[in-house]
């Protein structure tokens, strides 16, 4: 499995979330389940079913975080790539970083994360200023890279 590139900030945030869910989170959900169980008939106990559902979602997130953290490659930062599609004006410029969706927390709203394995992500990963073509789902797309800045 290929490493998932994460900034130090994202890695630390995910590590803290993982630690919180595997300690406080598990204890809190176990207490909710026990309190609901004490109410009696589990078959028709909405509180019990809600707590069990919450536990399932939390355990899924824990497994997801564990996978991400175990396969993380910490990088120094991301480049923000500003581009316009052929035929668009510079006012329509879009800003992207190539990376993991977990990087989204704390990013400015005008920056979109694109996955490194997507057609655009693969093209931008090696992009330089100037024209760029890449194969999208509906054919070849032409863009102009107008800026590359460090985040």
Q: What is the pLDDT of residue 1?
A: 52
Distance (Å, rounded) from C-alpha 118 to C-alpha 121?
5
- CATH of region 4-74, choose from 3.60.150.10, 3.20.20.80, 3.50.50.60, 1.10.287.180: 1.10.287.180
Domain residues of the chain, as ranges?
Answer: 4-74, 78-150
Distance (Å, rounded) from C-alpha 100 to C-alpha 81?
15
Q: Residue 74's beta-bridge partner residues?
A: 6
Q: Which two tokens stand for residue 70?
A: 């175990």
Distance (Å, rounded) from C-alpha 99 to C-alpha 14?
15
pTM attached to this predicted model: 0.75
Average of per-residue pLDDT values in the chain: 90
**In this structure, CATH architecture of domain 78-150:** Roll (3.10)
Summarised one tens digit per residue, pLDDT across range 101-114 is 888 887 888 999 99
Summarised one tens digit per residue, pLDDT across range 42-96 is 777 888 899 999 999 999 999 999 999 999 989 887 889 999 999 999 899 999 9
């Amino acid at each position: 499995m290929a490493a998932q590139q994460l900034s130090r900030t994202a890695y630390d945030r995910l590590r803290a979330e993982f630690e919180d869910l595997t300690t406080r989170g598990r204890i809190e959900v176990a207490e909710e389940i026990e309190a609901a169980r004490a109410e009696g008939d589990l078959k028709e106990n909405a509180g019990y079913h809600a707590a069990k559902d919450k536990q399932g979602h939390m355990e899924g997130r824990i497994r997801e975080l564990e996978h991400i953290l175990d396969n993380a490659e910490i990088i120094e930062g991301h480049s923000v790539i500003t581009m316009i599609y052929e035929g668009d004006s510079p006012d329509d410029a879009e800003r992207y970083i190539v990376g993991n969706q977990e990087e989204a927390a704390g990013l400015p709203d005008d920056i979109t994360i694109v996955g490194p394995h997507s057609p655009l992500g693969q093209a931008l990963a090696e992009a330089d200023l100037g024209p760029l073509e890449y194969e999208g789902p509906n054919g070849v797309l032409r863009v102009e890279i107008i800026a590359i800045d460090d985040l």
